[in-house]
Amino acid sequence: MDIHIETERLHIRALEESDLDGMFTLDSDPEVHRYLGNKPITHTDEALKYIKDIRKQYAKRGIGRWAVEIKETGEFIGWVGLRLYTDYTFNNHTNFYDIGYRLQPKFWGKGYATEASKACLNYAWNVLKLDKVYGITEMGNEASHKVLLKIGLTYLEDFYYEPEDMMLRWYAISKPK
């Protein structure tokens, strides 16, 4: 997947196997997984599998999560992007695009998730020509809740997600007219 998006402070690009160390740092952090079922990874093989799975999504669906770097330094800080869910059902929805992000804790609270997510929505409307994008957060994740609201999604409702035994929040945004 050839994706190169620049924002004021960030570079967004396809995830590569060379992002292994950054992905392991991200997904092995218990604080990152606090609202993701509390299942941080423990081996680099798990991070590599995640990268390979995303690259398969690029090939199969033409979209997936993307690496986020600080433009000035090239430092990997996490991922952002759109995912086409065809293999899971959330809140009685299948075949929908979800916007998501995951950053290393040292980069939280700096506006990076909001900045990167706005760029992803721009891509959704102008490149993919989507009409609607959804968002999902764990019910207690106030920081992610605020990011989704800042980028224009509307909170719709809470729902129970049985496979993970957790309460989630459901959001949506339609393409601006």
Distance CA 58, CA 36 (A): 23
* Reported pTM: 0.93
- Our count of domains for the chain comes to 1
In a domain, 50, yes or no: yes
| pLDDT at residue 117 in the model | 98
In a domain, 45, yes or no: yes
**Which residue's structure tokens are 């000035």?**
72
C-alpha dihedral over 92, 94, 99, 103, to 10 degrees?
Answer: 80
* Domain extent for 78: 4-130
Phi, psi of 68 (to 5 degrees): -120, 130
| pLDDT at residue 90 in the model | 87
In a domain, 117, yes or no: yes
β-strand pairing of 76-85 with 4-6: unpaired
Distance CA 137, CA 175 (A): 21
pLDDT in tens, the chain (177 residues): 788 999 999 999 999 999 999 999 999 999 998 888 778 999 999 999 999 999 999 999 999 999 999 999 999 999 999 999 988 888 888 899 999 999 999 999 999 999 999 999 999 999 999 999 999 999 999 999 999 999 999 999 999 988 888 899 999 999 998
CATH number for the domain spanning 9: value is: 3.40.630.30
